[in-house]
């Protein structure tokens, strides 16, 4: 299929910056051949509606739940049907492919489903009921992948698919590291002896060489296959580290942005409405750069939100959260934020850089260690180690001396902030059921990230969810209820305007105003949160009429509220959605 002239011109420009004139021509021809192959598939023509207030995403491993005689992916779907229903619209399946380490992020085969989870038929069953999100792990692959086996045998195509460097090269000291493990790993290559390959994340995860256009074409084909299989969202894992140029930090390089823009062009041409989500666990300004000029990622994560909420709820101070939220630009047309508090990884600490002082960050980390958490480190260019990630269940992180009820209130407040902010909310499956830190999982695996990756026996979980008053039952039912409430209010549309109101420290206020809609009145929603254990007052005059009068309803509490003098009393750890009636 020939690309449209404007798309072809833009693709030629991007590919030329990556591979030169001749390389661009050959790569473009390969992309056009790929489009010709995939566009004949009926699944590429399925409707992909724009995101709305009715959308929310669930993040989960394929084997979070297990039951005898049933594929874990089938058990997952059973859990969703029984307990979640239409409260969520999208299911993000963390890597479902055969792997050798890192719980799926060291991929051995990008085209097969790990037989221990089920098969493509199980994935397609989920896609029949929910929008599907899949991971494209494109920075690296497993040492066990056939490409790397080609490399060590000196055979095509894999022999040119990986990045080599001399570990003694002083320019490597400039490379930004997400880990404190060695950057370069020695391997024995047939007829060449020992060679050193680039391994950003671990010795088992070997970085791929996108300076070779054949690698880009490989992943373009894999991307199209995932869309053909039903993916509505494709997450680009660890994409910030994609391109390597010695003498630079090798993160967020212009070439990396060019690759993402090429993939965006391809997706928009082949399957309009399919969304690319970049995973860039970096400081705020760097993260925002992946929107490009509205021509790069469709969606980016709000990585700063999770640690800022922990900071605010732990210390009772919202000034940093408010300052960050005020600074957020609206997303570009067709783009959006993904708001989350927890995921399969830990809580990133780099996104706190420039938002809180190191002393305050360290105070937060001390509290988290007291609650059973771990802190993973990264290696700085000067050889020192610095905090990179906090490993703890988000529910356990909000424990205190005031009992389970207060802990659950804090936890639900954090989740409700994520539901309220401009963008699409994403909830980690362990957060739905208030999973505590899995210290036994850490002990068994030797991996601190296992602390928030509990694998549940479905019978055990079902018994807990059926037990009246269990924290799992109360948490799940309340989050599902709030998600369903959210679906009914256009003020939570991803494009609804967001204004962060000035409040006293300890209180956070977000005013959401829906976009104009023919035939209906725009009804704003004032989202109020008390991050402290004391009663606070909040100003509700943004919802008052011209005479200063108001009749308000708390959507979450399903009650009318009187607010004399335009002020409202907020109980400890309250979360309210207010609208005028």
- What are the residue numbers of the active site? 237
* Sign of the torsion angle spanned by Cα atoms 113, 115, 120, 126: negative
SS (H, E, C) 101-163: CHHHCCECCCCCCCCCCCCHHHHHHHHHHCEEEEEECCCEEECCCHHHHHHHHCCCCHHHCEC
Supply 539's token pair. Answer: 């100003």
- Supply φ then ψ for residue 483, to 5 degrees: -60, -40
CB atoms closer than 10 angstroms to residue 429: 26
Containing H/E element for 313?
helix 305-315
| Cα–Cα separations (whole angstroms), residue 177 to 250, 251, 354, 569 | 9, 9, 18, 46
Paired strand residues for 208: 162
Which H or E run includes 324? helix 319-327
User: Annotation-wise, does 169 bind a ligand?
Assistant: no
Residue 237 annotated as part of some ligand binding site: yes
Look at the block and give the residue holding tokens 């990556």: 18
| Angular region, 88: left φ>0, alpha ψ -120 to 50, beta rest | beta
- Report the candidate in 28, 31, 1 with the shortest Cα–Cα distance to residue 13: 28
Binding residue per annotation — 482?
Answer: no
Q: Are 248 and 236 in contact (CB under 8 A)?
A: no
CB atoms closer than 10 angstroms to residue 486: 23
10 is in an annotated binding site: no
Please report which helix (H) or strand (E) contains residue 477, including its range.
helix 471-487
Q: Which is nearest to 57 in space by CA: 80, 41, 74, 78? A: 80
**Residue 103 annotated as binding site:** no
The closest alpha carbon to 392, from 354, 444, 349, belongs to 349
User: Is residue 140 marked as binding?
Assistant: yes
102 is in an annotated binding site: yes
**CB-CB contact of 64 with 98 (8 Å):** no
Residue 257 known to bind ligand = no
CA atoms of 539 and 168, how far apart (whole Å): 61
Annotated binding site for substrate: 102, 140, 235-237, 344-345, 449
Annotated binding site: 102, 140, 235-237, 344-345, 449
């Amino acid at each position: 299929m020939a690309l449209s002239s404007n798309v072809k011109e833009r693709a030629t420009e991007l590919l030329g910056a990556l591979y030169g004139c001749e390389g661009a021509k050959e790569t473009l021809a390969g992309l056009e051949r790929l489009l010709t192959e995939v566009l004949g598939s009926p699944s590429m023509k399925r409707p992909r509606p724009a995101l709305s207030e009715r959308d929310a995403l669930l993040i989960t491993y394929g084997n979070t739940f297990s039951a005898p005689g049933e594929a874990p992916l089938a058990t997952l779907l059973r859990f969703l049907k029984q307990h979640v229903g239409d409260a969520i619209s999208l299911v993000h399946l963390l890597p479902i492919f055969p792997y050798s380490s890192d719980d799926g992020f060291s991929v051995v085969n990008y085209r097969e489903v790990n037989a221990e989870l089920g098969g493509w038929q199980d994935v397609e069953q989920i896609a029949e009921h929910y929008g599907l999100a899949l991971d494209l792990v494109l920075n690296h692959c497993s040492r066990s992948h056939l490409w790397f086996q080609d490399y060590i045998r000196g055979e095509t195509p894999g022999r040119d698919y990986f990045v080599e460097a001399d570990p003694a090269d002083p320019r490597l000291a400039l490379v930004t590291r997400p880990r404190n493990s060695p950057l370069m790993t020695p391997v024995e290559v047939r007829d060449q002896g020992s060679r050193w390959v680039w391994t950003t994340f671990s010795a088992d995860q070997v970085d791929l060489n996108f300076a070779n256009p054949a690698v880009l074409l490989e992943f373009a084909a894999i991307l199209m296959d995932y869309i053909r299989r039903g993916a509505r969202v494709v997450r680009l894992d660890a994409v910030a580290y994609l391109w390597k140029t010695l003498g630079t930090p090798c993160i967020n390089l212009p070439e990396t942005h060019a690759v993402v823009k090429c993939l965006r062009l391809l997706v928009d041409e082949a399957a309009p409405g399919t969304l690319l989500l970049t995973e860039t666990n970096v400081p705020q300004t760097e993260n925002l750069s992946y929107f490009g000029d509205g021509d790069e990622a469709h969606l980016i994560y709000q990585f700063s939100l999770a640690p800022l909420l922990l900071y605010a709820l732990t210390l009772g101070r919202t000034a940093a959260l408010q300052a960050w939220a005020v600074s957020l630009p609206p997303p570009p047309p067709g783009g959006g934020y993904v708001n989350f508090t927890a995921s399969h990884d830990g809580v990133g600490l780099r996104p706190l850089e420039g938002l809180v002082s190191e002393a305050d960050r360290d105070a937060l980390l001390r509290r988290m260690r007291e609650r059973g958490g771990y802190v993973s480190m990264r290696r700085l260019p000067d050889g020192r180690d610095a905090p990179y990630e906090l490993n703890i269940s988000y529910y356990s992180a909000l424990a205190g001396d005031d009992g389970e009820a207060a802990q659950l209130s804090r936890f639900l407040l954090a989740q409700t902030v994520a539901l309220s902010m401009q963008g699409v909310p994403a909830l980690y499956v362990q957060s739905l059921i208030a999973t505590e830190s899995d210290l036994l999982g850490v002990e068994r695996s030797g991996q601190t990230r296992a602390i928030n990756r509990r694998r549940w026996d479905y019978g055990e979980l079902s018994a807990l969810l059926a037990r009246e008053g269990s924290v799992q039952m109360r948490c799940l039912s309340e989050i599902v209820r709030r998600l369903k409430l959210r679906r009914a209010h256009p003020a939570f549309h991803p494009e609804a305007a967001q204004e962060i109101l000035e409040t006293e420290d300890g209180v956070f206020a977000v005013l959401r105003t829906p976009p104009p809609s023919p035939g209906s009145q725009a009804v704003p929603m004032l989202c109020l949160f008390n991050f402290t254990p004391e009663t606070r007052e909040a100003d509700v005059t943004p919802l008052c009429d011209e005479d200063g009068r108001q009749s308000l309803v708390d959507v979450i509490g399903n009650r009318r509220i009187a607010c004399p003098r335009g002020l409202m009393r907020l109980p400890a750890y309250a979360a309210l959605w207010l609208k005028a009636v």
